[in-house]
Structure 1
């Protein structure tokens, strides 16, 4: 009996040892916004958490953090909210468990998490099942622009037109990344034809 209880304690504990130092560097207002974005993602209201944009704002506030480190924070807080939704936990129970967790979070961070969960937690528990079903990456934004080659190893002659493609994607964890690449005009035309074929197929589904 005692062994079973101990196993339950281990399963229900949270280990913040890898992220607590990162969270300590995040100003309280930006951490609150991060938590809000995570909640919105779990509610399927947004496609993902824009870690690149938040990193830029952190750096503007004098905090040195890269997107990969902020992604670790997003993973940790997402896990907390998801677990709290599945239990489900009240805001008081959540803050108590956070206070007892391995690698205890700063008091200010726990207060932010508790406040956000108290305000928005119920809606997460309603939409969590839908979130689990839709565990696939999503295309958020797609842009292109026409340019003229001035110097390039990819084109036979200068002053050749090219297309710059910018794609913003959210992965299954909600992290938003932006990819930019270039195409020649014939490559872009072929790409466009393939998209038209995909659209035609989707219309029959």
Structure 2
């Protein structure tokens, strides 16, 4: 259970959660639970933000990220320790006095339905705690200036990776390679794919 060193941080997250209707909170929690159950590759904050905005709830990006992180940590911790719905609600009430009753009831209902499954999934996930590649995009360009290319007007490949971290957050990583580096990278990927087919 996230017990913040600064209770004001938890209070701020709870204040933002209070801006949500029980239905909207339920949607956000279900996205988090879907990830923790292994049904999705991560919790897409852009999707959550769009849904909140359509419902008239405006949150700063940092506040939204904090809320998603709080829900992830709360449910993951409850799953690891196999808390009951009542115990989870008690711990949430201990973490902040600002929780509205309707929100706690919704969290209790969702956890009572999904808690045992999350616990089972967390036991499996504990052995496989690595980032996952969700998407890879690339484009070919010409170098105008670069640290690795010897001369200007050299071709390069720009890669953008979409990665789901073990925490559930989706992050983007980008980097550039020379064409020979990219060809070597491609060769290694083909070798990995061939090995994986034999497993």
* TM-score of the pair, normalised by structure 2: 0.71
Q: Which residue is equivalent to 1:156?
A: 152
Q: Which residue is equivalent to 1:80?
A: 74
- Equivalent pairs, count: 190
For the 8 Å contact 1:170–1:177, the answer to whether it is kept is yes
Q: Which residue is equivalent to 1:115?
A: 109
Task: Measure, in 2, the Cα distance between the counterparts of 1:72 and 1:12.
Answer: 12
Deviates more, 1:30-39 or 1:86-95: 86-95
For the 8 Å contact 1:58–1:65, the answer to whether it is kept is no
Task: Measure, in 2, the Cα distance between the counterparts of 1:197 and 1:92.
Answer: 51
Q: Which residue is equivalent to 1:65?
A: 60
Unaligned runs of 5+ in 1: 1-10
For the 8 Å contact 1:20–1:103, the answer to whether it is kept is no
Task: Measure, in 2, the Cα distance between the counterparts of 1:29 and 1:45.
Answer: 21
For the 8 Å contact 2:14–2:96, the answer to whether it is kept is no
Q: What's the offset of the Cα at 1:169? A: 0.7
Unaligned runs of 5+ in 2: none
Q: Which residue is equivalent to 1:7?
A: none
The 5 A counterparts of 1:43-192 are: 43-58=37-52, 61=56, 63-66=58-61, 68-146=62-140, 149=142, 152-154=144-146, 156-157=152-153, 162-192=156-186
Distance 1:140 1:27, change over 3 A: farther
* TM-score of the pair, normalised by structure 1: 0.70
Task: Measure, in 2, the Cα distance between the counterparts of 1:201 and 1:145.
Answer: 27
